[in-house]
Structure 1
């Protein structure tokens, strides 16, 4: 972080890896990946399936060094709020979803860990454990913050557009979402 950017301070961490899941479905790819990864590294898991209900998800995510931002569906351009909430909370997202280059189109390449970057889940677990013991290496996942500021307004506009579309089903094409939304 540069001396001019005082807006981000890494939250205190008391957990290594966390996951909050609201839709547990054994047919989703993320479930067997979680089960296998959990054999190699301790994962603090929350949600109805685990009997641990969540009142403040952001507080839990910020307390973890790594958060499993696993999508429930794996599709080419399907990246949800799980990724952005994790970054906003000051945790490193471990992602499962579309290929790495899709994520890199939205966020810096050194701000997340992709499950597909590792030949095995054991090696991913070993990397997370290594980063836990090597603060200098861990902090590299936040170095992008000295060059970029986190903005969440674009995503919220897109979410508002989705709500509008759900309520107004007439077919139209918009070349520029900001121009359409803001006039």
Structure 2
């Protein structure tokens, strides 16, 4: 079973985190935590190759904070768990401080990418022929494909690191998808 395969992988990979999850659309499965997309791809490949598992994977997601109408703050890992609009005062998304390092030649392309990913530039520092850009960005924009796109626009010369800053109120809404009148 998938649970047994994950338990065996966890013995060799302490950074792998998983917990049972039930989805109306996909059924029973596991929500897994990884160190990044490469780590996710390696675990997926090992599950398929070594344990003969047929997997369906979804896009990475992040935890949001929800300020409910009654003043309670809850953390939500799955958008389906967000209360209906009348019960929500505010939805806060995780914001990270991102440091981007690159040669001067790629500053324009990297700034364009960061702006497309809802980044707000906080600082720019020159160190010889290298540049360090500091941005605040939503974590949800980072975990999906930011690193791959950063490498692409810089021809592999840019690097990055990031640290969590805060949960910040954001203009996001919950969208329910109905299949035969049922939420999925």
Using structure 2 for the length normalisation, give the TM-score.
Answer: 0.26
Higher strand proportion, which one? 2
Q: What TM-score does the superposition give when structure 1 sets the normalisation length? A: 0.26
Say which structure is richer in helix. 1
